[in-house]
Amino acid sequence: MAVNYLYPEYEAVRNYDRCITCRACERQCANEAHEYIEDGDRMVCDDSKCVNCHRCVALCPTRALKIMKSGNAYKQNANWPGRTIDEIYRQAGSGGVLLSSMGNPENYPVYFDRILLNASQVTNPSIDPLREPMETRVYLGAKPQEIERDVNGRIINNLPPQLSLSMPVMFSAMSYGSISYNAHESLARAAVKLGILYNTGEGGLHEDFYRYGANTVVQVASGRFGVHPEYLSAGAAVEIKMGQGAKPGIGGHLPGTKIVGDVSRTRMIPEGSDAISPAPHHDIYSIEDLRQLVYSLKEATEYTKPVIVKIAAVHNVTAIASGIARSGADIIAIDGFRGGTGAAPTRIRDHVGIPIELALAGVDKRLRDEGIRDNVSIVVGGSIRSSADIVKAVALGADCVYIGSAALIALGCHLCRSCQTGKCNWGIATQIPELVKRLNPDIGYERLVNLLTAWQHEIKEMMGGMGINSIESLKGNRLMLRGVGLNEKELDILGIKHAGE
Ligand code: SF4
Ligand code: SF4
Ligand code: SF4
Q: Which residue owns the Cα nearest ligand 1 atom 3?
A: 19
pLDDT at 435 over 90: yes
pLDDT at 247 over 80: yes
- Ligand 2 atom at minimum distance from 418 CA: 1
pLDDT at position 145, please? Answer: 84
- Ligand 1 atom at minimum distance from 43 CA: 5
For residues 348-364, give the mean pLDDT: 97
Cα separation, 16 vs 206, whole angstroms: 46
- Ligand 2 atom at minimum distance from 30 CA: 4
The ligand whose atoms approach the alpha carbon of 343 most closely is: 3
Ligand 3 binding residues, C-beta < 6 A:
53, 101-102, 408, 413-419, 424, 426, 428-429
Q: Best mutation site among 34, 56, 70, 434 for ligand 2, i.e. most ligand atoms within 8 A of its Cβ?
A: 56
Residue type, 414: H
Report how far ligand 3's centroid is from the alpha carbon of 130 (Å). Answer: 37
C-alpha dist (Å) from residue 412 to 17, 29, 54, 183, 439: 28, 15, 10, 10, 8
C-beta separation of 455 from 387 below 8 A: yes
Exposure string over 262-281, b if 16+ CB within 10 A, otherwise e: ebbebbebeeeeebbbeeeb
> Of the ranges 51-55, 64-68, 222-226, 228-232, which one carries the lowest mean pLDDT score?
222-226
Report how far ligand 3's centroid is from the alpha carbon of 101 (Å). Answer: 8
pLDDT at position 288, please? Answer: 96
pLDDT at 387 over 90: yes
C-beta separation of 373 from 399 below 8 A: no
Report how far ligand 2's centroid is from the alpha carbon of 368 (Å). Answer: 50
- Ligand 3 atom at minimum distance from 414 CA: 7
pLDDT tens for each residue of 49-84? 999 999 999 999 999 999 999 988 899 999 999 999
pLDDT at position 252, please? Answer: 82
pLDDT tens for each residue of 447-489? 999 999 999 999 999 999 999 999 999 999 999 999 999 999 9
Report how far ligand 1's centroid is from the alpha carbon of 67 (Å). Answer: 13
Q: Which residue owns the Cα nearest ligand 1 atom 4?
A: 22
Ligand 1 pocket, residue 19 CB under 6 Å: yes
Q: How confident is the model at residue 146 (pLDDT cuts 50, 70, 90)?
A: confident
pLDDT at 255 over 80: no
pLDDT at 97 over 90: yes
The ligand whose atoms approach the alpha carbon of 21 most closely is: 1
pLDDT at position 254, please? Answer: 81
Q: How confident is the model at residue 192 (pLDDT cuts 50, 70, 90)?
A: very high
pLDDT at position 41, please? Answer: 95
pLDDT at 3 over 90: no
Q: How confident is the model at residue 32 (pLDDT cuts 50, 70, 90)?
A: very high
Return phi, psi of residue 344, to 5°.
-155, 150
Q: How confident is the model at residue 140 (pLDDT cuts 50, 70, 90)?
A: very high
pLDDT at position 2, please? Answer: 78
What's the Rg (C-alpha) of the chain?
24
Ligand 2 binding residues, C-beta < 6 A:
12, 28-29, 31, 33-34, 50-56, 67, 425
Q: Which residue owns the Cα nearest ligand 2 atom 8?
A: 56
Bridge partners for 253 per DSSP: 276
C-beta separation of 406 from 385 below 8 A: yes
- Ligand 3 atom at minimum distance from 417 CA: 5
The ligand whose atoms approach the alpha carbon of 67 most closely is: 2
